[in-house]
């Protein structure tokens, strides 16, 4: 890799093991998994092995795992399907102002069609208030969609308290876990999660592959994409075995190295903050002051316009962002930071997101800080 890459919350490079596993799959596993002959059955076996592995990481029923194109499809299909499932009970949705665009824009589109929506704010630590959620619940509330870990400021929501409350009220609980999966323990039974999403490219796997967990999918999930009977009739389309192998390999590696990986990320986070202080860089943390999602660090740098700094970093081959990659190029301010600090806060235009990964080194952090010193 050339340059210094500090945008792992946007995407991760595929690990060498994933690339090798996918290459072998492209060579050896070309059979259509819907075919009855041996090479088709071999492909089917790979899919079901992957489904079993995913289910084990979540304490879920394998039949409730739907392999798909990733987080955007998973979020869209879960939200739309849940509203159809409970259409006879109501239409009210509760979500937050700081959701990923694949949740937020889906719900905005539904709101335009007449679905009533309550949007909860984040506090300055990047959390929703449980009391605000309680107050927002109405007799016709059928869906709550709150992300597990925020992709811009790295805050974790209290999934246990949210899940306990919604289970008591018998309200469907969907959570976007794209940043959180295997960075934080997830047990769909203990947390009362009814649907969650994942993208392999946040986990050193390939882009274009992920999964949706949907509780009792055989009974309640109607295929969002019409066509054949793939994915137990939950998602039409011939399965991409190389991508599925890549996701499976990425999950296996993340499971194996989870503890060491988290320790590495924390070490990098505290090193950056410590060295920045020693260099006199006036950084302030947006969001939780203590690490929650260790790989995401959102920094307010007073007097330094984000867009100008990103251009300077890019010219120096240092790659980071000022918010979600899915809204890059937009002139609109970050919804996350607006929710936390208000639209008039200087933090909206003077913040940078640094996110670390397994390949990140302290030498790369030093290069980033060197450039910050030059620009201050």
pLDDT tens digit sequence for 32-86: 999 999 999 999 999 999 999 999 999 999 999 999 999 999 999 999 999 999 9
Domain that holds residue 49: 16-252
Which of 203, 233, 252 delimits the end of a domain? Answer: 252
Is residue 328 predicted with pLDDT exceeding 60?
A: no
Based on the structure, what is the number of domains in the chain? 2
Domain CATH code at residue 336: 3.90.1150.10
Catalytic residue among 121, 326, 367, 375: 326
Say how far apart CA 73 and CA 209 lie, in whole Å.
Answer: 10
| pLDDT-derived band at 333, boundaries 50, 70, 90 | confident
Which of 230, 252, 274 delimits the end of a domain? Answer: 252
Residue for token pair 């302290």: 362
Which of 187, 218, 252 delimits the end of a domain? Answer: 252
Is residue 134 predicted with pLDDT exceeding 90?
A: yes
Is residue 242 predicted with pLDDT exceeding 70?
A: yes
Q: Are residues 211 and 262 in the same domain?
A: no
Instruction: Let me know if 326 is a catalytic residue.
Output: yes
Residue for token pair 């054949």: 228
SS3 track for the chain: CCCEECECCCCCCCCHHHHHHHHHHHHHCCCCCCCCCHHHHHHHHHHHHHHHHHHHHHCCCHHHEEEECCHHHHHHHHHHHHHHHCCCCCCEEEEECCCCHHHHHHHHHHHHCCCCEEEECCCCCCCCCHHHHHHHCCCCEEEEECCCECCCCCCECCHHHHHHHHHHHCCEEEEECCCCECCECCCCCCCCCCEEEEEHHHCCCCCCCEEEEECCHHHHCCCCCCCCCHHHHCCCCCCCHHHHHHHHHHHHHHHHHHHHHHHHHHHHHHHHHHHHHHCCCCCEEECCCCCCCCCEEEEECCCCCHHHHHHHHHHCCEECECCCHHHCCCCCCCHHHHHHHCCCCHHHCCEEEEECCCCCCHHHHHHHHHHHHHHC
Domain CATH code at residue 141: 3.40.640.10
| pLDDT-derived band at 281, boundaries 50, 70, 90 | very high
């Amino acid at each position: 890799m050339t340059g210094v890459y500090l945008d792992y919350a946007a995407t991760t490079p595929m690990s060498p093991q994933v690339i090798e596993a996918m290459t072998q799959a492209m060579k050896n596993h070309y059979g259509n998994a819907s075919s009855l002959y041996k090479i088709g059955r071999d492909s089917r076996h790979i899919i079901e092995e992957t489904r079993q592995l995913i289910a084990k990481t979540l304490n879920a029923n394998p039949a409730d795992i739907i392999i798909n194109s990733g987080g955007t499809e998973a979020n869209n299909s879960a939200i739309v399907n849940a509203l159809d499932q409970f259409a006879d009970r109501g239409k009210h949705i509760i979500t937050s102002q700081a959701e990923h665009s694949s949740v937020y824009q889906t719900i905005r589109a539904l709101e335009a069609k007449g679905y009533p929506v309550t949007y909860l704010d984040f506090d300055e630590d990047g959390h929703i208030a449980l009391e605000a959620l309680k107050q927002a619940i109405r007799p016709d509330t059928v869906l709550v969609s709150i992300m597990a870990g925020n992709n811009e400021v790295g805050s974790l929501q209290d999934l246990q308290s949210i899940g306990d409350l919604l289970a008591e009220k018998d309200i469907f609980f969907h959570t976007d876990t794209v940043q959180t999966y295997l960075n934080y323990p997830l047990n769909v039974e203990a947390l009362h999660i009814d649907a969650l999403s994942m993208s392999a490219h946040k986990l050193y796997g390939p882009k274009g592959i992920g999964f949706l967990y949907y509780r009792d999918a055989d009974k309640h999930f109607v295929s969002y994409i019409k066509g054949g009977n793939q994915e137990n009739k939950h998602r039409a389309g011939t399965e991409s075995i190389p991508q599925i192998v890549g996701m499976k390999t990425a999950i296996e590696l993340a499971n194996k190295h989870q503890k060491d990986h988290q320790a590495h990320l924390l070490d990098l986070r505290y090193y950056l903050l410590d060295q920045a202080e020693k260099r006199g860089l006036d950084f302030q943390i947006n969001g939780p002051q203590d690490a929650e999602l260790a790989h995401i660090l959102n920094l307010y740098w007073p007097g330094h316009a984000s867009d100008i700094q990103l251009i300077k970093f890019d010219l120096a081959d240092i790659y980071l962002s000022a918010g979600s990659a899915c809204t890059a190029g937009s002139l609109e301010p970050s919804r996350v930071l607006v929710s936390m600090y208000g639209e008039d806060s200087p933090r909206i235009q003077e913040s940078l997101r640094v996110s670390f990964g397994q390949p990140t080194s302290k030498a790369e952090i030093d290069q980033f800080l060197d450039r910050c010193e030059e620009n201050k």
